[in-house]
Chain A
Amino acid sequence: MTEGVAGRLEHYMDLLSLRQKLVASNIANADTPGYKTRDIDFQREFRNRIAGTAPAVEEVSGLEVKQDGNNVSMDREARLLAENTMRFNLAANLARIELRTVRSAIEEGRSG
């Protein structure tokens, strides 16, 4: 792995955290009249990394709107909750392996 990969893992985890926060907001507002489901275009945000700009949060299209104007789908949010957690944990594992390798290189360098 290179320095670049470690940075990309961190960016990946940052975006997943933001996405998970939007999922939590959707779940909390599953019964709020008029509330519309929000999300980010993950792949687009991950590819177009411009330092300093916050990812664009947008309303999700194609969801069924209930009588009170709310369009939160608990199925969708539950699925995303699980998927984001899995991907985040996987990325964290990869980052931990990378940090261990760098750490042992530093330690060996000191004593070698």
Chain B
Amino acid sequence: MSSPISPIARPLLPDAIGAAGAPARPDDFQKALAAAIGEVEGSRRAASESIEQFLSGDADELHGAVLAAQRAELEFDLFLQVRNKVVAAYQEIMRMQM
């Protein structure tokens, strides 16, 4: 998935979902969400470390912590959007398969 803010938001959904012609299985959604959560957790951990450095006085440039924190927030917001889309798609498909 490409977007105008791709330098910050790496693709959160693997290409497996939406591969032309392949029927989606419940498993794919779970894997996609797990991967997205992994990404977000990574950026939040990095922000945590940056902030620790600022608090303990080790940070050379103060803006490092703020940038890392805002990046983590952006990725989290993006994750929420993706999660909502994935959940909606899942519900749609479950409805269709009834």
Contacts and interface: CB of A to CB of B under 8 A. Distances in A.
A35 interface: no
A43 interface: yes
Interface of A: 1-2, 5, 8-9, 12, 43, 46-47, 86-87, 90-91, 93-94, 97-98, 100-101, 104-105, 108, 112
Contacts of A1: 44, 47-48, 51, 69, 72
A94 B84 contact: no
B55 A12 contact: yes
Interface residues of B, number: 22
Contacts, number: 57
Interface of B: 44, 47-48, 51-52, 54-57, 62, 65-66, 69-70, 72-73, 76-77, 80, 83-84, 87
Contact of B66 (A2, A90, A101): A90
B80 A105 contact: yes
Given A94-B51, A108-B84, A101 B76 contact: yes
B84 A112 contact: yes
Contacts of B87: 112
Contacts of B48: 1-2, 5
Nearest to A94: B69
B80 A104 contact: yes
List 10 A-B pairs, minimum CB-CB distance, nearest first.
Answer: A97-B69, A108-B80, A101-B73, A97-B73, A1-B48, A5-B48, A94-B69, A12-B55, A101-B76, A5-B51
B68 to A, nearest CB: 9
A2 B41 CA distance: 10
A9 B80 contact: no
Contact of A90 (B57, B62, B72, B73): B62
Contacts of A90: 54, 62, 65-66
A15 B79 CA distance: 35
